[in-house]
Structure 1
Amino acid sequence: MYYIGIDIGGTYIKIGIISTDWETIKICKFPTGNNPMEKIIEEIDSICNEFKIKGIGVGIAGLVDKEGNVIKAANIPFLNKFPLKKELENRYNMNVKIENDATVATVAEALFGQGKGSFSFILLTLGTGIGGGFWFDGEIAQFPLEVGHMSINYQGKFCNCGNTGCLEVYASARAIKDNLIERVENGEESYIKKLYEGNIYRATSEDIYKAAMEGDHLCRSVLKEAGKALGAGIANLINIFGPEKIILTGGLSKAINIYLETAIQEAKKRAMIGIAESVSITQSSLVDKGGVLGAVAILINENLKQFPDRKLKEPKN
């Protein structure tokens, strides 16, 4: 028997097959697009034709209610006010669990990753948007922790959530790209202009990071600005919660140089003396599969305090 784990982000979706003894059979990744349900259903149909599936766990970048309805997905407009649990249950006639993507990633980190054995930690998902989850005394804390929509500039830029000055409009992948485009349009030079036949609007945060590592001044500047904003947000979390760890995951967490380095330095500088020294800030060890694993773990809904004894198995060759 197998489970399907789905991680729905603003830019990419990952769908994985996980065995009952925690072996990752395979994980596929594809763009979210304007109508993500078409591709999700296509992939699930294909998996169900090949494997005997016991249930489907889903993590989505957005607010989800107890009935599995997506209330608000700021970076995935198609799924706003969408009855995701009902749609999947009706189609596949099996157990389905829907949760926030940061929540499921936090659970995975506590059970199998950098958070294993920790009394408390905060996980930040760094991608198109920014999400967060809080692990405390053996379980996920039951509050939204919409970290990306924490205001760090009350007179700042407009956010898709309807607020202004949110952390993710300064520190997310989308913010990095938007900042670079704005500065290039205002006349600043960058290697990025040579990509995609001069169409800078096709540039990705990965392109920007690669150019920065090759010495592009503007790309380095944009990443440093985003890192400082992220550091300010992390400092707020340290001051309020005082966790043992801050764990960083998501596609942007791979930008260790410049972006994360700047964020960590800024957070330690801004957080209150006496609190910051006891908090470690580290990169996740489950960047590429944490969302899928956590979605399955929450679906199974076993006693989470027993999970740390479980070990992940490497994928079959």
Structure 2
Amino acid sequence: MRARLVKALLRFFALLPLPANHALGAFIGWLAWVLPTPAKRITRINLDLCLPELSPAERRRLARRSLMEAGKTLTETGPLWYWPAERIRALLVGTHGAEAVDRALAAGYGAIVATPHLGSWEMAGHFGAMRWNITVLYRPPRLQALEQVMRTGRATLGARLARTDAAGIRTLYAELRAGRLVGILPDQDPGERGGVFAPFFGVEANSMVLLPRLARKSGAPVFFAVCERLPRGRGYRLHFTPAPGGITDPDPRTAATAMNQGVEACVRALPEQYQWNYRRFRTRPPGEPPLY
């Protein structure tokens, strides 16, 4: 029942042109702000932890704006999974830095694109398929019935998907050996066995070791990609920046720290579009109390 409801909502969101879709998403996010929601509580905790240099009033304003952007993330999933390829292509109004990825792929070593939960990461994956041959690592949704919808939607423009399991990781290595592009979300909690604690905005965060390990073993350069959501549903603009050099350090904590610094730099450039309502610090070092 729940999966059918989610699918129906996504199809409804896909009926709306992007300006109306984003307006609805902003309204949903505003409701999440004015009501006593878990998303509001988590957002405020994260902003207090990560951006203490802002005044309380500035953090409140940022929390409200970020929840409105989170609402857009929800509603835009409909068109980005259900619209035809040509209609999705028309949403991209510009790119910056993609030529560096072109050059890296031309060198034959493959490349890794790290896309934080910032802006429209769904659109970033579509662009990777539009311009290159990309394989994207994904974590299956909690509702198993939605996995095929997700896979089909993310493959609309030709992206290939690899699950977060041993077979999926082998696929990523094979793609890099073949000189192709892989995409990873670098700012998820990887679970107790898949990460190492490293600072993120000055707070110890369980951070993935997979991305630095892929880069070190394959020799593939890493780029951070952010798909900026433009105001009033005017489309998207994609930005690419090289990752910090320390991301291939053999010490896991040093490499994860460099990776987190890359994510931080992306977030500071567009803080209102980061997914602050995600429980990024739910896994704590031994002996530390929970933060949420």
Fold conserved between structures, TM > 0.5: no
Query: In terms of Rg, which structure is larger?
Result: 1
TM-score (norm 2): 0.30
The structure with more strand, counted as a fraction of residues? 1
